[in-house]
């Protein structure tokens, strides 16, 4: 319901649809332990038990972290007997890197424009000071 005489404000960020894959990846990467697990798996495949020991956590806790990484496509697991081995998944972060690059260019352009404005203001201030 809109109140008469009031303008409606829309938060465009709330309505912007980020692909679910980006959301899952950034959520997975938001945790320091999960980033550490990825770094470990870049070096070599590892069992959940090995990862839990390396990060000094319970098997249940590590299984949850690996599950988040698996849902994001960053890790795959394979169970052979009682051992579940983790390895890097097929997801190579190209879409995420492109998203970051687009936003980097946007912010760089905005900061360059701001630098120009600040330099113009400094120049005008200096000119005004010299006239007095």
Residue 37: CATH number of its domain: 1.10.10.10
Q: Which residues pair with 76 in a beta bridge?
A: 87
Question: pLDDT tens digits for 48-89?
Answer: 999 999 999 999 999 999 999 999 999 999 999 999 999 999
Within this chain, do residues 97 and 47 fall inside the same structural domain, yes or no?
Answer: no
Within this chain, do residues 48 and 84 fall inside the same structural domain, yes or no?
Answer: yes
Which of residues 53, 71, 88 is at a domain's end?
A: 88
Structural domain that includes position 33: 18-88
Question: pLDDT tens digits for 99-125?
Answer: 889 989 989 989 988 999 999 999 988
Within this chain, do residues 73 and 126 fall inside the same structural domain, yes or no?
Answer: no
Within this chain, do residues 37 and 81 fall inside the same structural domain, yes or no?
Answer: yes
pLDDT attached to residue 6: 53
Q: Which residues pair with 88 in a beta bridge?
A: 75
SS3 86: strand
Within this chain, do residues 67 and 49 fall inside the same structural domain, yes or no?
Answer: yes
- Spatial contact of 118 and 110, defined as CB atoms under 8 Å apart: no
pLDDT surpassing 90 at residue 126: no
Please tell me whether the overall predicted TM-score, pTM, comes out greater than 0.85 for this model: no
């Amino acid at each position: 319901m809109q109140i008469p005489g009031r303008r409606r404000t829309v938060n465009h960020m709330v309505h912007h649809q980020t692909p679910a894959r980006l959301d899952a990846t950034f959520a997975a990467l938001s945790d320091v332990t999960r980033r550490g697990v990825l770094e470990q798996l870049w070096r070599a495949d590892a069992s959940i038990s090995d990862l839990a020991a390396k990060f000094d956590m319970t098997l249940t806790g590590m299984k949850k972290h690996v599950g988040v990484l698996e849902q994001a496509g960053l890790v795959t697991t394979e169970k052979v007997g009682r051992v579940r081995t983790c390895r890097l998944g097929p997801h190579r972060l190209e879409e995420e890197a492109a998203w970051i690059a687009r936003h980097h260019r946007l912010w760089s352009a905005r900061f360059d424009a701001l630098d120009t404005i600040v330099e113009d203001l400094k120049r005008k201030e200096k000119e005004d000071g010299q006239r007095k």
